[in-house]
Structure 1
Amino acid sequence: MSEIIRIIGIGFAGGMLALMLRKHRPEFALFIGLVTSAVILAGTVEWVSGIMTGLRQLIENCGVDTAYFSMIVKVVGTAYISQFAAEILRDSGENAVASKVEAAGKICILALTLPVLASFMELCIGVVNSV
């Protein structure tokens, strides 16, 4: 609980500092936002590591192919990274570029999930043909 309070405090402090600088030195405000975001993300590394370990154990216990775990990690990572980049771009006033980054992230996620979709379709066709 104290960890999330620390992260929220860092976020508020960085946000207020960026807000104060935005009027007079907008380039520094963007830099403060980037640094604050990086510090917050670094603070979540331990949580992400625990989540990864828990998911890996869950998948191994269920007997699911580990390739699916790898794909899930890539999809979630792609979603977070593209959202993070788009939000930074929006903060700097680049809404059009932010939209393109989000679209590219969605296309990448679709490409990552196509093998699973193909396997699912093959399974469905096999079930229908066996009936």
Structure 2
Amino acid sequence: MVQIVGIGLIATFLALILNDQKPMFAFMLTVFVGAFIFLFLIDQIVAVIVMLERIAVNANINDLYIKTILKIIGIAYIAEFGAQITKDAGQAAISAKIELAGKILILVMAIPILTVIIETVLKLIPQ
């Protein structure tokens, strides 16, 4: 974590310096550092995914549900990352549209899980 914070602080100071003279370079630096930090965390993300898949197998949970949940989490993080980058670029309207698209895609991805939950609840209710 110290490395990530260090990289973030250095990039912030450089971006502040560049912002006055070359705002486009400051923005590109911000995007590059954001992508670099994400790539830096790939090993930890993979470890979490492997752990969740192992737990799902041990709990006899359908693989489809775990994959759907992981996709939903991925959509949320990617939408947040994109929205923050566009906000940094001063494009709040585009940022809001990215957030809206992320929410809609999450809803669409969640429909199969919601359907199974509703069907399960209906089976438990005596007729």
Q: What range describes the TM-score normalised by the shorter chain of this pair?
A: over 0.9
The equivalences for 1:109-120 within 5 A come to: 109-120=106-117
CA drift of 1:13 comes to 0.8
Q: CA offsets, 1:19-55, max 9 Å, x none?
A: 1111111111100001111111111011011111111
Indicate the residue corresponding to 1:32 in structure 2. 29
Which whole-Å CA distance do the structure 2 matches of 1:59 and 1:37 have between them? 31
> Which runs of 4 or more aligned residues in structure 1 lie more than 3 Å from their structure 2 counterparts after TM superposition?
none
Q: Aligned residue for 2:122?
A: 125
2:19 alignment partner in structure 1? 22
Aligned length: 127
Equivalent residues in 2 for 1:38-117, closer than 5 Å: 38-117=35-114
Which TM-score applies when normalising by structure 2? 0.96
One-letter amino acid matched to 2:101: A
Per-residue Cα deviation, 1:77-96 (whole angstroms, up to 9, x for no partner): 00000000000000000001
Deviation readout 1:80-131 (Å, 9 max, x if unpaired): 0000000000000000110010000000000000011011111111211x35
Aligned to 2:5: 8
CA distance in 1, matches of 2:34, 2:120: 43
Amino acid in structure 2 at the alignment position of 1:82? A
- Structure 2 portions without partners, runs of 5+: none
Q: Percent identity?
A: 31
Query: Which residues of structure 1 form unaligned runs of 5+?
Result: none
